[in-house]
Structure 1
Amino acid sequence: MSVIGPVVVTGASSGIGRACVERLAKAGVRTFPTVRKEADALSLTEAFGALVEPVLADVTDAASLARAAAEIEARLAGSRLGGLVNNAGVALPGPALSQPLDEIQRVIDTNLVGAMRAVQAFGPLLGAVPGAAGPKGRIVNITSVSGKFGYPFTAAYAASKHGLEGYSESLRRELMLTGVDVIVVGPGAVKTPIWDKGAAVDRSRYEGTGWAAPLARLEESLAAMDEEGLEASVVADVVLEALTAARPKPRYAPVPQPLVNWWLPRLLPKRLIDRVIADRLGLRPAAASG
């Protein structure tokens, strides 16, 4: 495992982001976690020590990212970032035909456009500039199994993660000119609060639409998956490997029970998977009365 320069981790207040900060600090790597609240910044430094230097920033606000980049550049004092981990994300389930557009926009703006903003803000500090001399950092984008597989009622989340997968592939090939690598880490179910936070959304708006009962079943399924999911520390280990391996894979897929949760859904016919999901969630049309 090679030694790397300082790493920015977005969305580091909880879950995978916080686990990444902890893992990097244990490996002796200086980190700049981005959080939105002073209390979260204090929690990180108290928990993980002097190598952790939180910065206030919101990935949905380009100006705050620009300020964070300027602050980090000053702290670097002429040295380079070793990595950027784009982790900030939100999940708000709902039926695609009637989910409020502001919720859909929030998911895509955070998960996809937020990563794009962060790349533009911190890319120069990684050496992602044509002709720039010196060491080059890496970009690790946290996607999801949902970046390859769309579950019902997660259309906004799946769209954001599919988009981040495509963006990462294009960016990786584009940045070959600069020597900065781009790696995707797409976990399966992880024990994080991301879906619990989405549970705060008002579901009463879907009562009487036909979507309410299948949506409730999906949320029960997601809660069960999270209970059986990977520890966030497992994903953090993979992120560290992506940042430090001499020859990193372009994509890592840490998934619990990979045969069932990764390989079979990708290899079996999509219509067969559709039928399995429809039976599980109650997505069959009601029989016509005659």
Structure 2
Amino acid sequence: MKNILITGVSTGIGLGATREFCKKGYRVFGSVRKPEDAEQLKNESDENFVPLIFDVTDEKAILDSVTLVEKIVGQNGLSGLINNAGIAVSGPLMHIPIEELQEQFNVNVFGIIRVTQAFLPLLGAQKNCPHPPGRILNISSVAGKVAFPFLGSYVGSKHAVEGLSHSMRRELQLYGIDVIIVGPGAVNSAIWDKDSAQNIPEYYLETDFVASATKFQKQFVKQGKRGFPIDYFGKRLVQIFEKNKPKTRYALVPKKFREWTLLRLIPDRKLDRMIAKGLGLVHNK
């Protein structure tokens, strides 16, 4: 049995990936932050699922999970790691509290580094490793390549994930460990029904950005609800993980030409003007 670790499996892409990898016969170690989520997932999943309780910002909890996983997998190690856990902080960079910006990077960027460093020996980053080298999938986003207004903190974190992943892949060639970036577009999950997705943060309700940000938020939620279902992402992640000669990056985007290819072909200044016109961010001289 192959063993794989997926972070952030309580909802969304992580949950979809857990379901599909279990179906394919993998033993899935899935991280969640709350014991009640671990219990619920354990009850809903088959015997191939093993919950791990840790937050990617908690180094001690991560290391405790390494010990647990090592006891279970023994000399077989891990075949893969999918760094999926993440958060999205929204708001204009002019007003966003620095503490929220730090938390964004602490989870999305430093969280990946903490988890990867801790589990690399089980993936084969050691001399005379008794098992074949594993493979790492880092979940980025369309925002890892395209910058949207009012998502600057999230965009910055995903741009960082992209760069770190390329450097990591080139370094880990030493051990035969491959690193692949997966950049999803819109994901149709329960997150869009939560108040946190619908509401504008209080700290910029009285700023000049409120009208534009409200319009953007509504469009963003609407687009999310039209996104791929989580089980589709799960199936695609399994396919990517099992490829003999994978690409270094995959874009899994609905309406791919309009929402991915075209956005990267339009010159920056023209895209600036299009966004400004659409959201009312035009300067009145």
Q: TM > 0.5 between the two?
A: yes
Whether the 8 Å contact between 2:200 and 2:217 is mirrored in structure 1 is no
Structure 1 residue 143 and structure 2 residue 131: aligned? no
- The reply to whether residue 89 of structure 1 matches residue 73 of structure 2 is no
Structure 1 position 124 matched with structure 2 position 124: no
Q: 8 Å contact 1:16–1:235 — kept in the other structure? A: yes
Which sections of structure 1, spanning at least 5 residues, go unmatched?
Answer: none
Preserved contact between residue 183 and residue 249 of structure 2 (Cα < 8 Å): yes
Deviation at 1:134, TM superposition (A): 2.7
Please state how far the C-alpha of 1:241 moved relative to its aligned partner.
1.7
8 A contact 2:3–2:27 mirrored in 1:
yes
2:29 matches 1:32: yes
Matched-pair contact (CA < 8 Å) for 1:238–1:252: no
For residues 130 and 24 of structure 2, what CA distance do their matches in structure 1 show? 26
Cα deviations by residue, 1:174-229 (Å, 9 ceiling, x for unpaired):
00010011011101111134564743876232123101111111110111111111
Higher strand share: 2
Aligned pair 1:282/2:280, yes or no?
A: yes
Matched with 1:226 is: 224
**Aligned to 1:106, which of 96, 103, 106?**
103
SS at match of 2:50: coil
- In 2, the alpha carbon distance for the partners of 1:283 and 1:130 equals 56
Of 11, 16, 19, which aligns to 1:14?
11
CA distance in 2, matches of 1:155, 1:197: 21
Counterparts of 1:100-249 in structure 2 under 5 Å? 100-129=97-126, 132-194=129-191, 196=194, 198-199=196-197, 203-249=201-247
2:235 counterpart letter in structure 1 = D
How many Å separate the matches in 2 of 1:69 and 1:194? Answer: 29
Q: CA deviation at 1:168?
A: 0.4
Any idea what the Cα deviations from partners look like across 1:49-80, whole Å, max 9, x if unmatched?
Answer: 11001011110111111111111101112221
Question: C-alpha separation between the residues in 2 aligned to 1:119 and 1:102?
Answer: 24
Measured at CA, do residues 189 and 202 of structure 1 come closer, stay the same or move farther in structure 2, by a change above 3 Å?
closer
Matched residue of 1:150: which SS? Answer: coil
Q: What do the CA deviations read for 1:95-118 (whole angstroms, capped 9, x no partner)?
A: 101101111111111111101111
Cα distance between partner residues in 2 of 1:160 and 1:181: 21
In structure 1, what is the equivalent of residue 77 of structure 2? 80
Say which of 43, 55, 63 aligns to 1:66: 63
- After superposition, what is the alpha-carbon deviation per residue over 1:18-68, rounded to whole angstroms, capped at 9, x for unaligned? 111001011111100001111111221222211001011110111111111
Go from structure 1 to structure 2 and tell me whether the alpha carbon gap of 1:45 and 1:262 turns closer, same or farther (over 3 Å shift): same
For 2:100 and 2:278, the matched residues in 1 are separated by 26
Q: Is the 8 A contact 2:95 2:203 kept in 1?
A: no
Gaps of 5+ in 2: none
Matched residues in 1 for 2:162 and 2:195: separation?
23
Shift of 1:130: 5.0
